[in-house]
Amino acid sequence: MQGIFAFVIMATLVGAEPMLSSEESLRRITEVIERPVRNSEMKARDYQQALTMLDRFARDYPDAVSLATADFLRANAYLGLGQTEYAQSSLEAALAGPLPNDHLVVANYLHGRTLLENGQNKDGVAALRRAIGSNPNHPAVAEVRFILAYALMENLDAIEAQGQLDTLMATGGPQWVLDGAATLRKNLRWIGQAAPTFNARTLDGRQISLRDFEGRVVLIDFWASWCPPCIAMLPDLQNVYAKYRTRGFEVIGMSLDRTRSDLFGFLRSNDMPWIHVHENAEIVADRYGVEGIPMTFLLDRRGTIAAVNLHGERLAAAVERLLSAR
């Protein structure tokens, strides 16, 4: 019997792989997370595999630095799986530990984005600022500045948003970031300006002027029924309008449809109970510098442009702030 036990033990020892170093283990886990996407199902399996590997890594290397790094990589896997709540918890654990400096920018950046997505705007902005402060020369900082500028615009802080964009354009970054920053700068130039006035005739024949809406928060929505992104925005806009219309919120839809019949046909089958303008809408669009749709301008009670191109929950949050302002 003793010989049998000795044989089993020896076979186990010979067949077992030697434990990898922490650096090699992390390298292999990172390779799994960053493996090129083949299809969504296979990529999801990669993320699940990485999570399993990280659980073993945490058991093998329980020192504080290794655990913080494991939490950082775990957050990346959770984000890949769309599990933002778990990702946020993992990022907070990573940032609470002695996370290596080369991960600090990205960890704070990802933390800021998850906070913003969960509606925690103030904390999200603070996390993005920490990301920049931890290493302003990190390659990811250009993207961080762009997202921070966008978040600041949504929070109606156009001055700091402009400052972040100016720095970004001066220091450079990936072309897609610079292109997005250039577009955002065009939008920011409107914020704080008095909205261009106009007179228009609504679909039901009423003459309206922008001055008629002083004292109300107004969204001017340039759109068309042939525009798929405009239609994709419609459910969110319906929800915001239904929630705030009785508190002094109004929507003026500036339709750039080719014909009135196109617009009427769409309105007959869709619930859009706000004001609609088609006649001379293109003239108003020119006055607002509209180069593409959808394009929206959110006006405060004094007729000043407070935000440009806000959608969904971010639009709702901005409308709430403007309606609550004294």
Q: Model confidence at 29, in pLDDT bands (50, 70, 90)?
A: very high
- Asked if 141 contacts 106 with a C-beta cutoff of 8 angstroms, the reply is no
Give the model's confidence band at 40: pLDDT under 50 very low, under 70 low, under 90 confident, else very high.
confident
Q: What is the pLDDT of residue 290?
A: 92
- 3-class DSSP assignment, residue 179: helix
Q: Kind and range of the H or E element at 19? A: none
pTM: 0.74
Q: Identify the band that residue 11 occupies on the pLDDT scale cut at 50, 70 and 90.
A: very low
- Tokens found for residue 31: 């390779």
Q: What count of residues does the chain have?
A: 326
User: Exposed (0-12), middle (13-18) or buried (19+): which is 102, by Cβ within 10 Å?
Assistant: exposed
User: CA 243, CA 37: separation in Å to the nearest integer?
Assistant: 40
Taking 80 as the threshold, does the pLDDT of residue 1 lie above it? no
Q: What is the mean pLDDT of residues 270-296?
A: 94
In 3D, which of 249, 247, 234, 231 has the Cα closest to residue 298? 249
Q: How far is CA 12 from CA 1, 2, 16, 57, in A?
A: 17, 15, 6, 21
Q: Which CATH class is domain 118-189?
A: mainly alpha
Contact present, 165 and 149 (Cβ < 8 Å): yes
Count CB atoms within 10 A of the CB of residue 52.
12
pLDDT surpasses 90 at 136: yes
CATH topology of domain 19-99: 1.25.40
Beta strand pairing call for 207-209 and 199-201:
antiparallel
pLDDT at 272 > cutoff 70: yes
The yes-or-no verdict on residue 50 having pLDDT over 70 is: yes
Rounded CA gap, 33 and 209, in Å?
Answer: 56
Domain ranges of the chain: 19-99, 118-189, 199-324
- Do 19-99 and 199-324 agree at the fold level? no
Q: For residue range 165-214, what is the model confidence (pLDDT) as tens digits?
A: 999 999 999 999 999 999 888 888 899 899 999 999 999 899 999 999 99
Residue pair 287/211 in contact by the 8 Å Cβ criterion: no
Which run of H or E residues covers position 306? Answer: strand 305-308
To the question of domain 199-324 being in CATH 3.40.30.10, the answer is yes
Q: In what order do the strands lie in the sheet with 295-299?
A: 275-277, 249-255, 217-223, 295-299, 305-308
User: Does the pLDDT at position 246 exceed 80?
Assistant: yes
Asked if pLDDT for residue 2 goes beyond 60, the answer is no
pLDDT (0 to 100) of residue 158: 84
Alpha carbons 96 and 85: distance in angstroms, whole number: 17
